[in-house]
Structure 1
Amino acid sequence: MKNRATVLCVRDNRILLVARERSRWSLPGGRIRRDEAPHEAALRELEEETTLVADQLMYLFEFNGFSTQHHVFFAEVGPHLSAEPRNEIAKCKWFAPVKIATLSASVPTRGIVELFFRHIGVSVARRRPVAP
């Protein structure tokens, strides 16, 4: 199974997706090099594909795709930063989470986004005070 660092990058409640020419939308990320930690690969791939430099990442979870294990990280970037496609990436765009279900997006991208928001919902529900 291949190992991949995947970045769920959020700004203003929108998620950054990237796409190669004539390809589906996906989350930024890529292969983890031999002597590279997953978080290092996530930072490198985010910058290589989008020009964005994340100050910090938060490890979220592992997601198993068909033949790839995704090490998923969360990065929040400020509103003043813009994503520009670079290297093999032809386009970068910020999408509202509900819009992602209607896009031509990769299966792992849809699964990772869905899992992320399911996790956020559980976390928020746990923080709410319980009525006596």
Structure 2
Amino acid sequence: MSGKGRSLKTRATIICLRSGKVLLVRKKGGKWNFPGGTIEDGEQPVQAAARELKEETRLNCAGLLLLCTLEVGDIVHYIFTTHCDDLTDAIADNEIAACKWVKREQLNADLLTPTAAALMSRRLPALSV
């Protein structure tokens, strides 16, 4: 519970970088989002980030670094970054229908889910060009 008497959800969100591009994922019929998901009971945020990245994209990226924690709406996002080499490719898995690498300068709110667009508006250094 936050000080305002409302219950906050927690989510691990991963900004996965490769040669100036950011990895985005999309559920069937949805807009693009950053990989990530709910932090389960008893799970540390970094564990959730690694699990979600593997479940959604089949990536096993070592070196997940906590960038910051941001509250957007009723969700607290634990934002992690990681870097992949140019030979690493993401493969859509589980509920994810597609993955793509997008140049940071091509990210825009029209392309993204409302939550991802809200995170973009925070001008995170990892997403800056």
- TM bin, normalised by shorter chain, reads 0.7 to 0.9
Residue aligning to 2:125: 117
In structure 2, distance between residues paired with 1:65 and 1:25: 17
Deviation at 1:17, TM superposition (A): 0.3
Over the matched positions of the two proteins, sequence identity in percent amounts to 31
In structure 1, distance between residues paired with 2:94 and 2:128: 32
**CA offsets, 1:77-121, max 9 Å, x none?**
111111000000000000011211164202332333452238868
Is the 1:17–1:28 contact (alpha carbons within 8 Å) kept by the matching residues of 2? Answer: yes
Off by >4 Å, runs of 4+ in structure 1? 118-121
Residue aligning to 1:127: none
Within 5 Å, which residues of 2 pair with 1:27-46? 27-46=34-53
What is the alpha-carbon root mean square deviation over aligned residues? 1.9
Residue aligning to 1:82: 89
Is the 2:46–2:64 contact (alpha carbons within 8 Å) kept by the matching residues of 1? Answer: yes
Is the 1:25–1:103 contact (alpha carbons within 8 Å) kept by the matching residues of 2? Answer: no
Residue aligning to 2:56: 49
TM norm structure 2? 0.86
Closer, same or farther: CA 28–111 of 1 in aligned 2, 3 Å:
same
Unaligned runs of 5+ in 1: 122-132
In structure 1, distance between residues paired with 2:48 and 2:27: 19
